[in-house]
């Protein structure tokens, strides 16, 4: 597990750099609240993360036959991380911490572990046992709209 977290950290380090570069650029160019920009940038970083994590970190799991489901489920993790990031940016700004890099690092650490747990144990899970079969079926029903894409 340590090796997987280390690999995930490396691939997400690249995504973090891309995400942060975009964040700094958009923050400089636009007059938009920083938490909104951080939200969008995190989602962009999730796209980079998906490509790298699929190649270097995660083996095919229970969604290997359904790549669209896997992609959407992975990006849902990005949405979770983006919400956490935006919330932390807003919270830190309300507390007077307005340094964008400090906000990004703090939110990055918290979202990293939260999203890793989701992606490792839900998206790239090897198989489903009777204990979690209900959750799998509920998740598949929620994602069933993708069949028409």
Q: What is the pLDDT of residues 93-106, one digit of tens each?
A: 999 999 999 999 99
Question: Measured between alpha carbons, how far is residue 105 from residues 47, 53, 76, 87 in Å?
Answer: 19, 20, 21, 13
Q: What is the pLDDT of residues 9-66, one digit of tens each?
A: 999 999 999 999 999 999 999 999 999 999 999 999 999 999 999 999 988 888 888 8
| End-to-end Cα, the chain, rounded Å | 35
> In the structure, what pLDDT confidence band is assigned to residue 130 with cuts at 50, 70 and 90?
low
CB contact set of 69 (below 8 Å; sequence gap of 6+) = 63, 140, 143, 146
CB neighbour burial string for 58-67, b if at least 16 within 10 angstroms, e if fewer:
beebbbeeee
pLDDT of residue 59: 84
Helix 34-56 and helix 2-29, axial crossing angle in degrees, nearest 10:
150
């Amino acid at each position: 597990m340590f090796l997987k977290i280390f690999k995930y950290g490396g691939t997400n380090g690249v995504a973090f750099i891309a995400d942060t570069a975009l964040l700094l650029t958009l923050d400089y160019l636009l007059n938009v609240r920083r938490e909104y920009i951080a939200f969008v940038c995190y989602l962009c970083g999730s796209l980079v993360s998906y490509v790298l994590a699929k190649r270097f970190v995660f083996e095919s799991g229970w969604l290997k036959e359904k790549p669209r489901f896997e992609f959407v489920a992975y990006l849902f993790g990005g949405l979770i991380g983006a919400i956490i990031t935006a919330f932390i940016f807003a919270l830190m700004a309300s507390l007077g911490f307005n340094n964008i890099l400090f906000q990004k690092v703090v939110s990055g650490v918290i979202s990293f572990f939260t999203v890793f747990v989701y992606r490792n144990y839900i998206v790239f899970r090897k198989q489903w046992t009777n204990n979690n079969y209900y959750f799998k079926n509920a998740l598949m029903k929620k994602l069933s709209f993708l069949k028409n894409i």
